[in-house]
Structures are given as structure tokens and as C-alpha cells.
Amino acid sequence: MKPFAYARPGSVAEAVRDVTAEPNAVFLAGGTNLVDHLKLGVARPELVVDVRTLTSREVSDLPDGGIRVGASVTNSELAADRRVRERYPVLAQALLSGATGQLRNVATTGGNPLQRTRCVYFQDVTTACNKREPGSGCSAVGGYTRYHAVLGVPAALPDATAPETCTATHPSDMAVALAALDAQVQVLGPAGARTVPFVDLHRLPGDDPSRDTVLEHGELITAIDLPPLPAGVRSAYRKVRDRASYAFALVSVAAVVAVEDGQVADVRIALGGVAHKPWRATRAEQALSGRPATVDSYRAAVAAELAGAQPQPGIDGGNGFKIPLLTRALVATLRDLTPEA
Amino acid sequence: MSNSSTSGVGSVGAQPVPARPSTMDAEISLRVDGEVRRLTVDTRTTLLDLLRERLGNTSPKKGCDHGQCGACTVLLDGERALTCLALAVAYDGAEITTADGLAPEGELHPVQQAFLDRDAFQCGYCTPGQICSAVGVLDEVGRGWPSHVTEDLTADVSVDTALTHDEVAERMSGNLCRCAAYVNIVPAVQQAGGVQA
């Protein structure tokens, strides 16, 4: 592990100032991903600024009926919170499906969405990876693609040597639920505070796969707000993985839906394990809105969303299996949420 | 210290180690199994390496050292956590209980007794982590925390509903056992929780 200096400033503002002043500085919260990256050589900071005890560890009620979750609230605490279990079950289920008890006790609200891809090449510093080492290429092209993206990737087979190539997926379950819930991210940075819609927090690789989010250097998540949901809305998270517990998603679905008079009145869907970011399924939402709440409608909506999907070939057989798997997972999730359909 | 074995790519084993500025060292104080320990640590030191290499407490085990096996589990400020993914410097002032300190000298914690009664281990390497994790599970159930397999998230969580076989298996899924003693670990956790298994 490369040597680094450690700082625990007296306030969030000081922490932002410290990280801003050192180009090779990082924030530390629960550390469940960062400490591993320090060991692997994936992260090689000069300065680690600890904010775990600086940001809020409270879940508070907002005037609009929503809740504000402080960045240091742990994944365990948030999943156990009565308001989350009763009003945002999709989030409680997503949190409880992620990692293990030991990790959830430490992982935080601010840190979880900023965890990095589990792409095996990103985590292996002996391989080319545009996300870890910009311009070095992408080893996943034609490699192991079981956990890689099928949405938000180019129509043609990616070029392994191109600097923009990256087919990695975002690994968080929590983030998929937050995308479906239209959460808002409270950010403090060198230029002051701002609010970022959660769906805009993460980015596609674009021309710089090394950047996972739109946050600038020195910007810190201080809280995540959940807006109130309309009465009659139901929500759920469904995760499909290689073993029953403690595994990342092959595909996952977060759905928030309301049915009135047999019609889909309100629907929000986000998908995990299929893209570089938590994937808000806007095409499926459009296809469903106002339609009869039936399995046929759900199938048509999934087809609309996946029309642009690009399965990646790979030495492990590729990830084309994600198309039928996602189709079944999404249809089943919506069907379970609308038993009257 | 194992830091030399975890240096990043590009480093060659026998390279001279440059002198480090003093900001790479930090003085911290921890209460470990009831005893206050004050020491100076390299900022790269994990709690696991501190416990094992500096304090000689070898009950937390280094299995994978990447947060995947649970063998290094302790109670950190009362909650089960992985010491391999925790920087010691970040836990200045923390209270740590290892499997070694769960019960007074010469006595067994109820979870330890249950592991003996139920023959819940073979080689024993993962056992201190399993036991600390089980103590954490029982505390979490007592606090009413649900799990991934909890049927109704809005219902109250109690020993009666949260220590079924499936619940214990899910709640303990962060602790791997290469001997696959799971078939006896689950009843041991249930016994310690006061549930007939």
C-alpha cells in the first residue's frame, strides 16, 4: 500500500477545503470499498480525509413529507428505519439485498452510491482499464463480461483499444432504488452547496470512463433526500444473483408503481447490473403510463426498454442472458406489485 | 506488519523504502477487550493487522483480507464489523471486542457455549469471526432489524420471527466456512438466541 496522510478535520467545510487543496486527496467514509482499493493499488491517494464522524448520522423528516438521510447513516440503520420500511420498501429491500451485515453496519448513505465497479479488470492493476488508467484500453472487450453492461453501450462491438471504451456496471443496489425514488443528493463543494437529482449523479462513460459521477473534485455528499410518494403507490426491489446471499446483482429491478381503475397511473423503474449507472428505464415507463396494468403491458414495456440493448460477447459466454433474465425479473416485479392486474 | 506485502502495482519487492514524513504515523487509543491500548500506527494499518501484529490478539483471523470471508469480524463500538477493511487510524477512541474478550477469563459467552454444544465448527479458523458475527446478529434481532428474507418489513422483528433457519443463514451470510459447518452453525446461533432448533 502506498503511504498516505490521514486527516480528520473539525468540520465538513474543512474537509471539503482539505480535499479541494490536494489534487490527489480522497474522502473516506465507511471505507469498505476504498480500503480494499488502497490494498489493491486501485486507489493511490496522497491524502485521505475522514468524514465518517463529520456528516450527519440522522434520518429526519422533511416539511414536504419526505425524509432526509444524513450521509453517515449506515446502510443497516437506514434499512431498519421504520419510515423507510413502511414508506419506501424498495429502498429497505435494496439495502438488505446488498453486501452482508458486517459491511452494512459500516457502509454509509453517502459512500454507497460512490462505490466503484466490481469489474474484475478495474480491480486488477495488471490489466488495461480505461476507468482505472485512462487511455490504457479495456480488457473486458472479449473478456469476462458476465457482470458487464448491456444498456448504454455502443451499438457496435466496443474497441478494446479506444480510450472511451468501458462496459463496466455500477454495483450498488441502494443506488438503483434511489434512482427509482427520484431522490435528491445534497452536495457541499468548494463553490458551495448544490442539489443533484440522483438520476443525474452517475454518468455513462462518454469520453471519460474514469469519472463515475458528475461530482467535481472536493464535492462531498452530505445527505440524500427522499421525496414523499403519492398515496397508493407500491414499491419493491428484486435482485437476481449467482447465489442466494452476498453477491452482486446480475440484474436487478427497482419499481415504484400505482394503479388506478386497472390502469398504470404512476410508474418509475430503475435497473441495476445492466449499465454504467443505475439505469432509469424511461422508455418502459413511457410505454406503461396510462396502459392497462397487465402482464402483456409489462412485457411490451420491457421490450421497449431493451430494444437498444447490446449484449457483450465474452470468453465466459457473454452476457446475452441478461435480456431474458431482465425481462422476467421486471415483469415479475410489476406483477407482484399489482396483484389486481 | 503486512503493509509491504500489499504495495501497489509497479513496485518491486526489494526496492528501498523511502523515509516517510511523520504525517504517515498517527497516535491512537483503543479499548480492546476491556483494556485501553495506546499506540502509534502507520496510517495504512488496518484494525486487523493492529490487533494481530501489534497487540498479539490472534482471535480475528486474516482469511481473504478483502472483506469477502468474515473471518476478521469483531464487535466495533458494539456492532459486528470487518477489521480487514477498517483503517486503525479512523477508529481512534473505538471500543473493540474480539472473540477472545466476549467472556471473562475462564468463562464462555452463550454463543461460544452454543458452538461447542452444537459442534458448530471443524477446523475452527473461521469460528472467532462466526461467533462475533452471531453475537452481532442476536443484538440486531433484539433491536428489531429486518433482513433480506424477512417476509413483512413493516412487522415487528422478534426472536420468534428472525431466528428461523433461513433468517439465520441470511444474517450470517458474511461468514464463510470452508469446512461447511453451516449445518451446525445455524442451530448454534438459534440455541444462543433462545430458540429451540
Residues in chain B within 8 Å Cβ distance of A25:
none
pLDDT at B74 over 70: yes
pLDDT at B23: 75
pLDDT at A278: 98
HSE toward the beta carbon, residue A238, CA cutoff 13 A = 18
Domain-located, residue A76: no
pLDDT at A155: 82
- Count: domains in chain A: 2
Put simply, whether A283 touches B (Cβ < 8 Å) is no
Residues in chain A within 8 Å Cβ distance of B80:
101-102, 105
pLDDT at B123: 98
CATH classification code of B26-101: 3.10.20.30
- Would you call B153 and A50 a contact, using CB atoms and an 8 Å cutoff? no
pLDDT at B3 over 60: no
Residue A97 distance to chain B (closest CA, Å): 5
Domain-located, residue A221: no
Residue A292 distance to chain B (closest CA, Å): 28
Residues in chain B within 8 Å Cβ distance of A92:
146, 153
Domain-located, residue A238: yes
The reply to whether domains B26-101 and B110-192 share a CATH topology is: no
Which tens digits make up the pLDDT trace of A275-315? 999 999 999 999 999 999 999 999 999 999 999 999 999 99
pLDDT at B22: 56
Q: How far is the C-alpha of A153 from the C-alpha of B75, rounded, in Å?
A: 43
- Would you call A76 and B145 a contact, using CB atoms and an 8 Å cutoff? yes
User: Which residues in chain A land under pLDDT 50?
Assistant: none
pLDDT at B139 over 60: yes
Domain containing residue A297: CATH number? 3.30.390.50
Q: How far is the C-alpha of A305 from the C-alpha of A302, rounded, in Å?
A: 5
Q: Is the ipTM of this complex over 0.85?
A: yes
- Mutation target to probe the B interface, by most B beta carbons within 10 A, among A35, A97, A112, A132 is A35
Q: Which three cell numbers stand for residue B158?
A: 422478534
- Would you call A85 and B174 a contact, using CB atoms and an 8 Å cutoff? no
pLDDT at B17 over 60: no
Band of residue B16 on the pLDDT scale cut at 50, 70, 90: low
Q: Which three cell numbers stand for residue B70?
A: 468474515
Q: Mention the CATH class of domain B110-192.
A: mainly alpha
- Written in H, E and C, the secondary structure of chain A is CCCCEEECCCCHHHHHHHHHHCCCEEEECCCCCHHHHHHHCCCCCCEEEECCCCCCCCEEECCCCCEEEECCCEHHHHHHCHHHHHHCHHHHHHHHHCCCHHHHCCCECCCHHHCCCCCCCCCCCCCCECCCCCCCCECCCCCCCCCCCCCCCCCCCCCCCCCCCCCCCCCCCHHHHHHHCCCEEEEEECCEEEEEEHHHHECCCCCCCCCCECCCCCCEEEEEEECCCCCCCEEEEEEECCCCCCCCCCEEEEEEEEEECCEEEEEEEEEECCCCCCEECHHHHHHHCCCECCHHHHHHHHHHHHCCCCCCCCCCCCCCCHHHHHHHHHHHHHHHHCCCC
Put simply, whether A194 touches B (Cβ < 8 Å) is no
- Mutation target to probe the B interface, by most B beta carbons within 10 A, among A105, A241, A242 is A105
Which tens digits make up the pLDDT trace of A196-233? 999 999 999 999 999 999 999 999 999 999 999 998 99
pLDDT at B20: 45
pLDDT at B196: 78
Domain that holds residue A241: 234-337
Which tens digits make up the pLDDT trace of B27-73? 999 999 999 999 999 999 999 999 999 999 999 999 999 999 999 99
Domain parsing of chain B, residue ranges: 26-101, 110-192
Of A1, A48, A76, the CB nearest to B7: A1
**Chain A: residue nearest B73 by CA?**
A102
Of A2, A31, A80, the CB nearest to B146: A80
Domain-located, residue A147: no
pLDDT at A95: 98
